[in-house]
């Protein structure tokens, strides 16, 4: 693949999965903003596009792992991966993060009352939205795709993409509220664990949304599922 600054970020993330490491390091949106050319995405972040291209080439040319090309896997395998690697863990992690956020607010709220109260609100709202979102995917959209009706999935796909945008906005707000996840010097163990957990959630959700927005949804609307015995 000829790596170019004119290529969409989502395509680079799809065809060169290790490029997502570079995007994550520099805060480049490769999930909801996957349609933007790399040069445009870099300009938005004030980044030198040539430096980013060099970092991508370094990741690709000296890989320490063989990444999976999910755009080349059968749709049922991709959906199973999304359910196993993302939906399952999210259903456990979201309640844990909300519990920690409420505990930090309860114990340390006097140190930064407005910020910690807002943090609880955003975390609880994100949990509620994502749990409802995953339910719709598992009960409606994914079965539709697996039954070979992906060509008819336009309306639910558009709804899922809108909800992805909402989740991405919540992640941006959490990063603002946590000062880019810089742990306060006097933070207790729970506070530190919350900051680390939210940062990990951001990375996981970016990869999760990328797989759906840039790979699953486009393919599902054009490719019929091949059932095997």
Q: How far apart are CA 115 and CA 93, in angstroms?
A: 22
Q: How far apart are CA 154 and CA 160, in angstroms?
A: 10
Q: What is the CA radius of gyration of the chain?
A: 19
Per-residue pLDDT at 224 = 58
Secondary element (H or E) of residue 41: helix 38-45
50-107 pLDDT, tens per residue? 999 999 999 999 878 888 999 999 999 999 999 999 999 999 999 999 999 999 999 9
Q: 222 pLDDT band (50/70/90 cuts)? A: confident
Task: Please classify residue 220 by burial: count the beta carbons closer than 10 Å to its beta carbon, then call 0-12 exposed, 13-18 middle and 19+ buried.
Answer: buried
Task: Please classify residue 119 by burial: count the beta carbons closer than 10 Å to its beta carbon, then call 0-12 exposed, 13-18 middle and 19+ buried.
Answer: buried
C-alpha triplet 59, 19, 87: angle, nearest 5°: 125
**What residues contact 61, with CB distance under 8 A and at least 6 apart?**
none
Q: How far apart are CA 107 and CA 113, in angstroms?
A: 11
107-151 pLDDT, tens per residue? 998 988 999 999 999 999 999 999 999 999 999 999 999 999 988
């Amino acid at each position: 693949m000829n790596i170019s600054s004119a290529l969409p970020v989502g395509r680079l993330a799809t065809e060169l999965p290790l490029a997502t490491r570079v995007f994550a390091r520099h805060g480049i949106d490769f999930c909801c903003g996957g349609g933007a050319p790399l040069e445009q995405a870099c300009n938005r972040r004030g980044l030198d596009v040539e430096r980013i291209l060099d970092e991508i080439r370094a990741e690709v040319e000296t890989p320490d792992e063989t990444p999976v090309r999910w755009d080349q896997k059968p749709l049922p395998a991709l959906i199973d991966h999304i359910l196993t690697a993302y939906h399952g863990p999210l259903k456990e992690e979201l309640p844990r993060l909300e519990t920690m956020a409420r505990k930090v607010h309860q114990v340390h709220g006097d140190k930064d009352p407005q910020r910690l109260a807002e943090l609880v609100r955003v975390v609880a709202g994100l949990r509620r939205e994502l749990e409802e979102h995953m339910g719709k995917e598992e009960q409606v959209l994914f079965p539709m795709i697996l039954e070979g009706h992906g060509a008819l999935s336009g309306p639910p796909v558009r709804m899922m993409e809108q909800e992805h945008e909402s989740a991405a906005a919540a992640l941006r707000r959490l990063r603002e509220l946590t000062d880019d996840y810089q742990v306060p010097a006097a933070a207790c163990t729970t506070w530190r664990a919350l900051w680390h957990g939210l940062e990990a959630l951001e990375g996981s959700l970016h990869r999760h949304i990328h797989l759906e927005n840039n790979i699953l949804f486009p393919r599902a609307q054009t490719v019929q599922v091949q059932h095997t015995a």
